[in-house]
Structures are given as structure tokens and as C-alpha cells.
Amino acid sequence: MAVMTYAEAIRLAIREEMTKDPTLFMLGEDIGIRGGAFAVTTGLYKDFPNRIIDTPISENAIPAIAYGAAITGVKAIAEFMYADFSLLGIDHVINSAAKYRFMYGAQGTVPVVFRLPGGGGRQNGAQHSQCLEAMFSNIPGLKVVMPATPADAKGLLKAAINDYNPIAFIEHKAMYFDKGEVPEDPDYIVPIGKGVIRRAGTDITIVATAMNVTKSLKAAETLEQMGISAEVIDMRTIVPYDKELIFDSVKKTGRILVTHEAPTMYGIGGEIVAAVAKECFSYLDAPPQRVGSKFLPMPYNKTLETHVLPQIEDIVEAAKSAVEY
């Protein structure tokens, strides 16, 4: 194990996979000498000069080239500088990459990863702070991954690169410099579709994604002081998600709270709550709860941004109300 940042773990995954597979390449804006907007790819161009490709400012071309290359049999990583910018090239992700295997009877493969730095908390404003996982999750044919720790950032990215389906790999920008222990084993993989219990509990299940996993763990500490035992599940993968892990936890605790940074309205929390209501209704002791952002564009002002984003206190209050129901 080595201690490294979330960004360093992603860089290590790319380095290891490029070393293993000479066909793997990556393209995006300023990912060469500059190392990307968040320094994630720093230094990689020196070791892989012909496979770390700086592109013009053309978010429409980046996913198109990556997808086109992937269907010929090579592996590709396409980096959008911000997840928000993917909307300029979304046609190639949704109407091309996501549909290909279905349209051709699974005779071909699409080993392409779309890296999407998303999330707020950095005062990046309305067009640089969105969480778009619900949009990508509504597209059949796409897998959607959201790592919440440096170890998972490495393991899930390696799994994504070696998958043969197109993957939206969403990285939270505010977590890039968070540190944690990361396995140095070049064969380390975190399987797609498997969540993990980050904290065991008996009174309520808190299902969280990305930055909200960290917030939920801190909320669980506060809840413990109130005599409430919270079980915290890190989804890790949004599509497909680990239904059985969530259902088993809810059957034990009798309560569920789903929290994500994207707006609560129309968010993935609604899908999870609906599944729990259908499969675990007789086990529920309180109405399911959801905690997400307010349904507003992200403000630039720090105070207003904090107001829009879900906070630890919001998770605590929602969990407390469910337990006291």
C-alpha cells in the first residue's frame, strides 16, 4: 500500500494500463505538458509521448475520435476538462458509443472510458460544477462509475479500461487532492457493479456517492453521539448498482436515506428509493429519505454554493427524522 491522492491514483492506473497495453491511448485538452486542468496526467506524456494526445478545444471531436478508435479494437480514454463540457459531444457518447453493441448484436466491443471531472464546492460556477450522473444513468448501454476514495479511483478505472463497454467515469473535482492508501499491485481491480459498506450500523442505511460518502461518514459520527447507529454504503458504481447490498442493509436497519450531490429532484436517489419501496416495503419502519442539492444552477458565490450543496448537517437531520418517525 502507498499513500497518494485521488488524482495520483488515477494517474497510476493510467500508467499501469498503458504499460500493459500498447494500444491504449488517451486524448483530451491540455493533458500533455500541462497535465490536464487538475494535474491528473502530469508526466505521462514523457513516458507515452505518442499515446497522450493533446487535442484542440473541440469537445465534439474528443469522444468521437475515442469511440471511433475503440470500435476498431484499441482501448481509449477520453478526458473532458469538466463533465459539463461533455454536453458539447454528448451525441457520440449517447447515440454512438452506448448503442453500438446493441445495434450489432454484440459482435463488436467498445472499450472506451469517458473521464468526467464533476461536482461543486470549488467555486467553479454554474457551467463547471454539475453532477450529471442521472443523465448518463438514463442511457441504456452506458456504465456509470463514481469512485469515492483514491483506492477505488485506481481500481475502478483499471476495471473500466478493461471493460468492453463504454463507461462514464465520473471523478469529483473536490476530491482530487484527498489522500488515502492505495494498493500498488498492478493487477489491483475493483469490480464494476459492487458497492461497499464503509461503516456498519443497525438503525438506518445511508447510501451515498462520491463526496457525499465522506460527508455521510462524518454525519454517522454525529449520529452516533445521538445514539443512532448509521450504516454507510458507498455505491461506487451507479450503473449497474449493487441492489442486493442495499436491500440486505435495509432489511437489517428498516430505514434508508440516499444522498448524492446532484439535485434531489430527478436524481438517482429516486430510482434507489423506488427499488427499495418495491422489494423491501415490509421491512421499512419509516418513509425513505433523500438528500441532494437544491434544484438550482450552482452559484459562484461561496456562501450561496454552500447553501445549494447538501451538507453534513442535512444528512444528520434527515437520518434523525427517519429514526424518530
**Residues labelled catalytic:** 128
Scanning 190-301, the segments in alpha helix (DSSP H) are 211-225, 243-253, 268-279
Measured CA to CA, the distance from residue 213 to residue 260 in angstroms comes to 8
Which DSSP symbol is given to 235?
Answer: -
What long-range pairs does 264-272 form, CB within 8 A, spacing at least 24?
A: 264/290, 264/291, 264/292, 264/293, 264/294, 264/295, 265/292, 265/295, 266/134, 267/134, 267/292, 268/133, 268/134, 268/137, 268/209, 268/238, 269/207, 271/137, 272/207, 272/241, 272/246
Rg (CA), the chain: 19
Q: Which candidate, 124, 215, 114, places its Cα nearest to that of 160?
A: 114
Scanning the chain, the segments in alpha helix (DSSP H) are 6-20, 44-47, 61-70, 90-91, 98-103, 133-137, 150-161, 211-225, 243-253, 268-279, 302-308, 312-323
CB 6 within 8 A of CB 38: no
Give residues with Cβ within 8 angstroms of 104, minimum separation 6: none
